[in-house]
Structure 1
Amino acid sequence: MKRVLISSVALALCACEQQPGGEPVVRTQLDGSNPVEIVEAPEPDATPTEAARSSACSSVTFEGVALTHCVADPASHKIETALAPSSGSNFGTIEAWAAGKNEGGIAFVMNGGMYDDNLRAIGYFVRGSERLKELNRADGPGNFHLKPNGVFFGSSGKWQVLDSETFFRTIGDRPQFGTQSGPMLVIDGKLHPEFQDDGPSRAIRNGVGVSSDGKAHFVISDAPISFGRFGRYFRDELKTPNALFLDGNVSSLWDPSTGRMDSRRVGPLLVVKDK
């Protein structure tokens, strides 16, 4: 059995990509870059620990970029939304949110959408069936408004990703959890129309998609990655018909079973718990 490797990248705290610092959103035609090769992860040479075996997350390499892929299975997990503390020690971090909580029942936590100066969601946000923010259909700058954007949501173990307009037209009942972000990475099996194959905009990024078997796939890059390459991983490897970009530069993961705790500034959180 292959050892699960968890990579971390030491980065300075950055602003949310909705307000990017030195990392523009590119909206030009496809750049015509040469095809890239998929690089397999090296064969490990040691026996995995019990903690690593129990982790819902594993290391993968796609087109030469290291990623961490975490899987939430509705048969054994439930998903909730939360908000990182906006004040106090280590405010705006997963670590601050986790302080005092029993980590035994937590599979993993990942940042879950873009936020304002108060670390509150700028798009649709539902926590415990309570809507804290309405669906944001406005136009504007930044990645959130690179339409179509979308919503990740669910109730009773049924999880979905839909573009925001489809969500607005078709979803009448309020879900138990929901978070809006943007842009969509994959829409009905196709990459977002604004993406280049491998454009110059590179960042640590994370996103989520739901496969046909109902599992939610959370992915965070462990090195800077373009939107096009990131979207292809969801489309071609994970086979998720829809996938949503959650954020970049601030992207963070807490995996209690391996001890990984990223410390970048975040706001909305997606908390995956054991049932």
Structure 2
Amino acid sequence: MNAARVIPVLAVALSLFGSVAGAVDCQDMEFDGQSYTICETDSAREDLRLFLRDDQDQILGQFSRVDATLEQSGETLIFAMNAGMYHFDRQPVGHYLENGIRQKPVIEGASPGNFGLLPNGVFCIGDRVARVYETHRYLADRPDCRFATQSGPMLVIDGALHPRFLIDSTSRFIRNGVGTSDSGDRVVFAISNERVTFHDFGRLFRDGLKLPQALYFDGKVSRLYAPALQRHDPGLPLGPIVGIVVPKQTE
């Protein structure tokens, strides 16, 4: 395969939020002839959270509902995407932790579907840090997470692609996921703008974005909320949602 080649075609910082410009940098990019949208942030500086239910214990499910809930506390959503697989009732398939409260335990063994294509992993958001962990490493390291969501498969593990990804796979879907640096300050979310294989998507994180750890969130239902790119992808209600929150600007 040809050497990795990344060509940014659109870069727009979220300057419409005034003093919080740069909280997340979203851009469309081309990697190996395929189109993706990536949104990069510094977890040491930004308020990164997971969302599932509102104050009435109802599944939020939509980016607009997350934003409406935040508005009540004088905050606003400047980025979001679906963040892990879920059942028909929108409950997370695997481990889920929100504001330090565990709502679903870790699933360690094999299970049906992409989630159980081991190794899978956990996206952990702590205090000024966010990291992707392979599930067994997450259990061994016991990181201090405020938020966590388990999904699968891992896309990149310690700089290597998932061992079961096939370069000649014919399974292609719109896919989304997250990758992190070893230090846990660089966090990059990505969604494909066309149907790609797991091998394609893993190479985006490893070779295009140079990230040592990356986790698959989902396919087919993948959606992005990025106001600076005028994207608010429609669709059926989601399960877990990851987002970046800033204080709402007053005029």
* TM-score (norm. length: structure 2): 0.83
Report the equivalent of 1:67: 36
2:112 to 141, 147, 154: 141
Q: Work out the CA distance in 2 between the residues paired with 1:230 and 1:145.
A: 18
Deviations 1:123-175 (A, max 9, x none): 1111111111110113221000000000010211111111101111221x551
Q: Work out the CA distance in 1 between the residues paired with 2:137 and 2:67.
A: 34
1:82-97 alignment, distance < 5 Å: 82-83=51-52, 92-97=61-66
Would you say 1:271 and 2:243 are equivalent positions?
Answer: yes
- SS of equivalent residue, structure 1 residue 167: helix
Q: Work out the CA distance in 2 between the residues paired with 1:217 and 1:48.
A: 14
RMSD after superposition: 2.9
Report the equivalent of 1:123: 94
Judging changes above 3 Å, is the alpha-carbon distance between structure 1 residues 126 and 91 closer, same or farther for their aligned structure 2 residues? closer
1:34-45 alignment, distance < 5 Å: 35=2, 38=5, 40-41=7-8
- Give the Å deviation of 1:56: 2.2
- Name stretches of at least 5 consecutive residues in structure 1 with no aligned partner: 1-33
1:58 to 27, 32, 40: 27
- Name stretches of at least 5 consecutive residues in structure 2 with no aligned partner: none
Would you say 1:182 and 2:149 are equivalent positions?
Answer: no
Would you say 1:98 and 2:70 are equivalent positions?
Answer: no
Deviations 1:1-59 (A, max 9, x none): xxxxxxxxxxxxxxxxxxxxxxxxxxxxxxxxx65874635589xx9995498562111
- SS of equivalent residue, structure 2 residue 108: coil
Whether contact under 8 Å (1:84, 1:96) holds in the other structure is no
Report the equivalent of 1:114: 85
Whether contact under 8 Å (2:95, 2:104) holds in the other structure is yes
Would you say 1:245 and 2:212 are equivalent positions?
Answer: no
- SS of equivalent residue, structure 1 residue 99: helix
Judging changes above 3 Å, is the alpha-carbon distance between structure 1 residues 120 and 194 closer, same or farther for their aligned structure 2 residues? same
Whether contact under 8 Å (1:143, 1:183) holds in the other structure is yes
Q: Work out the CA distance in 2 between the residues paired with 1:226 and 1:59.
A: 19
- SS of equivalent residue, structure 1 residue 272: strand
Report the equivalent of 2:173: 203
Judging changes above 3 Å, is the alpha-carbon distance between structure 1 residues 84 and 201 closer, same or farther for their aligned structure 2 residues? farther
Q: Work out the CA distance in 1 between the residues paired with 2:88 and 2:77.
A: 28
Whether contact under 8 Å (1:84, 1:269) holds in the other structure is no
2:228 to 257, 260, 267: 257
Whether contact under 8 Å (1:251, 1:264) holds in the other structure is no
Judging changes above 3 Å, is the alpha-carbon distance between structure 1 residues 105 and 139 closer, same or farther for their aligned structure 2 residues? same
Partner amino acid, structure 1, of 2:233 = D
Whether contact under 8 Å (1:161, 1:210) holds in the other structure is yes
Partner amino acid, structure 2, of 1:236 = D
- SS of equivalent residue, structure 2 residue 229: coil
- Give the Å deviation of 1:248: 0.6
Whether contact under 8 Å (1:94, 1:263) holds in the other structure is no
Q: Work out the CA distance in 2 between the residues paired with 1:99 and 1:49.
A: 19
Report the equivalent of 1:13: none
Partner amino acid, structure 2, of 1:267 = G
Which structure has more strand as a fraction of its residues?
2
Judging changes above 3 Å, is the alpha-carbon distance between structure 1 residues 133 and 50 closer, same or farther for their aligned structure 2 residues? closer
